[in-house]
Structure 1
Amino acid sequence: MKNEPIALQADPRDPEDFDVSTDGLDRGQKARVIRRVRNRLGLSQPEFARRFRVPVGTLRDWEQARTAPPDFALAYVRVIERHPEMVLEAIG
């Protein structure tokens, strides 16, 4: 395991808490954006994935902060948030 900078220290009074690296914090913030957009559209993960052609496993990994979406994917999700119908028309 790499020695990553810690962005958020674990609470020493909570034995189940853990340190969060800067990379982990970044993944978590991006996960929130994606989950928020999907929820605002009222779609389940499989519905969102099918409609916008994102592999459902990839979407789950992003939303659970297992992996961080590349910048282009986060931009795509933000465009979906603002113009879902236009995106659907474009991917036809």
Structure 2
Amino acid sequence: MSTDEIELPADPNDPEDFDVTAEAMERGQRARFVRMTRTALALSRLEFATRFCVPVGTLRDWEQARVTAPDYAVAYLRVIAADPDLVAKAVV
């Protein structure tokens, strides 16, 4: 059992619901940001990974919240979102 602070308590009326820790909430928010950045560009995971030099398995893990995207990756994704063509040219 985790000792992390509970960010979102389970719904007592839903037997399948569970408590969500602050760490899990952050991981979920980052996963959503990664996925939204990619889908806003209308790219598949493979296309995005290839275009921006991110291992496709890493991208998948970030999007599925298996692994928390590190701060440097979030910063890189913000730059991609701001000017994807410039970033794509820079990583060639």
> TM-score by structure 1 length?
0.94
Equivalent in the alignment of 1:12: 12
SS, match of residue 43 in structure 2 = coil
Give the CA deviation at 1:84. 0.5
Equivalent in the alignment of 2:43: 43
Q: Which runs of 5+ in 1 are unaligned?
A: none
The root-mean-square deviation of aligned C-alpha atoms, in Å, is 1.0
Equivalent in the alignment of 1:69: 69
Letter in 2 for 1:72: Y
SS, match of residue 7 in structure 1 = strand
* Separation (CA, whole Å) in 1 of partners of 2:20 and 2:3: 12
**Aligned length, in residue pairs:** 92
* Separation (CA, whole Å) in 1 of partners of 2:26 and 2:33: 11
Letter in 1 for 2:19: D
> TM-score by structure 2 length?
0.94
Structure 1 stretches of 4+ with a deviation exceeding 2 A read: none
Q: Equivalent pairs: percent with the same residue?
A: 57
1:90 aligns with 2:85: no
Letter in 2 for 1:14: D
SS, match of residue 25 in structure 1 = helix
